[in-house]
Structure 1
Amino acid sequence: MDIDHIEAIGINEQGQLYVKPCKKQFTLIWRSATQVHWNDTGSYLYSPKPTEWSYMDWYKHIVTVIADEYNCKLLVVNDTLWYSVDNELKGQIINFNSEL
């Protein structure tokens, strides 16, 4: 399985969780019909604004879909940048990442 570090995780102005890989591009992720999307301009994956799922649920879904569809593990590293992510969610993501 390939590995790519996560450059940034954030919540944008539309309330969508986004995950920006350091190197990989997932431009065709829409074909998976999993509600995970790719932003070409910002080079990041993003989810719909949460309604029934939490941001943590969407994070898990994004990294799982990428692992399943692209055989690539996305990992949080010490240099990962965080934008508009509260400490509770950040801690949950870091803990989940350590289980991968």
Structure 2
Amino acid sequence: MDIDQVAVVEIDQEGRLLVAPATHEFPFAYREAMEVSWDSATRTLGSPIPREWSYGRWFQIIQSVASAQGVTLVLGSSTRWVNVPADIQTDISEAAVHAA
């Protein structure tokens, strides 16, 4: 399985979680039927606006989509956080570790 660093984690203006892998693309993310989509213009995997699940749980689902396509997404010291409050950064970081 390939490993790819997460370049950017962002919460957009609509409230969706967007995850930009450093190198891989996932144009067939929809095939995993997990409500995660790939936006080729922004090179991001995106969740719907969270309803019942936390951003941390959605990050795990995004990791699952990538994993189903042969890639392990990992957070690192170079991951940029955009419009993500500190408490949600912690939630996502802890969720990422537990998913690994």
Q: Displacement, 1:97?
A: 3.2
Count of matched residue positions in the alignment of Structure 1 and Structure 2: 99
Contact kept, 8 Å, 2:56 with 2:94, in 1: the verdict is: no
Q: Name the % identity.
A: 30
2:84 matches 1:95: no
Higher fraction of strand? 1
Q: TM-score, normalised by structure 2?
A: 0.91
Alignment root-mean-square deviation, CA: 1.2
What are the residue-to-residue correspondences of 1:1-100 with 2, within 5 Å? 1-67=1-67, 69-99=68-98, 100=100
| Distance in 1, Cα, partners of 2:89 & 2:15 | 16
Moved over 6 A (4+): none
Give ranges in structure 1 of 5+ residues lacking alignment: none
Q: TM-score, normalised by structure 1?
A: 0.91
Q: Displacement, 1:52?
A: 1.3
| Distance in 2, Cα, partners of 1:28 & 1:38 | 7
| Distance in 1, Cα, partners of 2:59 & 2:7 | 14
